[in-house]
Structure 1
Amino acid sequence: MRLLVIEDEKRLAEYLRKGLSENGYVVDVAHDGIGGVHLALEGGFDLVLLDVMLPGIDGFAVLRALRAVRNTPVLMLTARDAVDDRVKGLQEGADDYLVKPFAFSELLARVQALLRRGAPQRAEQDANRMQLADLELDLVRRRATRGGQRLDLTAKEFLLLTVLLQRRGEVLSRTVIAEQVWDMNFDSDTNVVEVAVRRLRSKLDDPFDKKLLHTVRGMGYVLEDRGP
């Protein structure tokens, strides 16, 4: 598997190159947006790890250029933790994102999950739309529909659903959901995740026969189509 790391912080880029190489991947590195675009479009990579803050052109511009011609999986790396920046990355077509600082073990797990998922197994998507069964998300219009019916979601519910759909088929713990949706370290005394999932489920699943949002006891939640 060939990976491309586009990261201007040279120490971090080398750290990622070394760690990923030790795990059996062939890794190329670019330190700016322009060089990154050139390699991403010409190199035939299986996955791109893309920093947001880059010299020349930023990661969002790199992502747009890549998505215009390729569906290569992209994992965004960003020091920005604002919800709007995360949503923008998803809108531009990123497959997943990871906020710095991060543990290498988590990055490696994300990389492996994206590569396992592969294009045929991922929910159908383009730069602006994602789909699973009869659920559709339009990331530009910030609209969610199921069976053609509009789902009336709050901003947080939409982001929660987007995160679950981006990582469909994966069991997400309450800790991961809290970190990615609420920018918070999970507090065992806080039931914000359970409340949000319950409210989302009441809109996403309760009116329909087929259930997409499942609870995995003792582990977390997963969005997937389990068939009839």
Structure 2
Amino acid sequence: MGKRVLVAEDEQRISHLLKMYLERESFVVDVANNGIEALEKAKHESFDIIILDILMPGMDGFSVLEEIRKTKSTPVIMLSAKGEAQDLKRGEELGASEYILKPFSPKDVVSKIKELV
């Protein structure tokens, strides 16, 4: 069975695209459409890596990451259209493994995931 990936992204076009690219590479992909759903899945299921969008309804990606880090050390890639230095720093301080700016190439995300898992 392939490595498990949680894609937490509220834009369905992006989550569908990532899921399609990852499944082609034999990853098992679960999708969360908001921060609350992402946190529940991350807390109660086991993933090899988590892809977290920062701007999501219900709970932002930074808050989700902060909660995940209380109990798990799963690698996390933050996705964001926000490239400000303070956002990059905050992600790093909270324990993000990587920070990828939108727009991005799905192939680049897959490559980064392969490096981390």
Aligned counterpart for 2:58 among listed residues 56, 80, 96: 56
Q: Does 1:10 align with 2:9?
A: no
How far apart, in 1, do the equivalents of 2:104 and 2:14 lie?
A: 11
CA contact (8 A) 2:17 2:106 kept: no
CA contact (8 A) 2:21 2:107 kept: no
- Extract structure 1 runs of 4+ deviating beyond 4 A: none
More relative contact order in 1 or in 2 (CA 8 Å, sep 6+)? Answer: 2
Shift in Å at residue 63 of structure 1?
0.1
Structure label with greater radius of gyration:
1
1:59-106 Cα deviation digits (max 9, x unpaired): 000000100000000000010011111111001110111000011121
How far apart, in 1, do the equivalents of 2:10 and 2:107 lie?
A: 21
Aligned to 1:36: 38
How far apart, in 2, do the equivalents of 1:15 and 1:107 lie?
A: 11
**TM-score of the aligned structures, taking structure 1 as reference length:** 0.50
Aligned to 1:75: 77
Identity %: 38
SS at match of 1:53: coil
**TM-score of the aligned structures, taking structure 2 as reference length:** 0.96
1:27-67 Cα deviation digits (max 9, x unpaired): 00000000000001111000000000010010000000100
CA contact (8 A) 2:6 2:47 kept: yes
Letter in 2 for 1:44: S
Q: Which runs of 5+ in 1 are unaligned?
A: 116-228
RMSD: 0.6
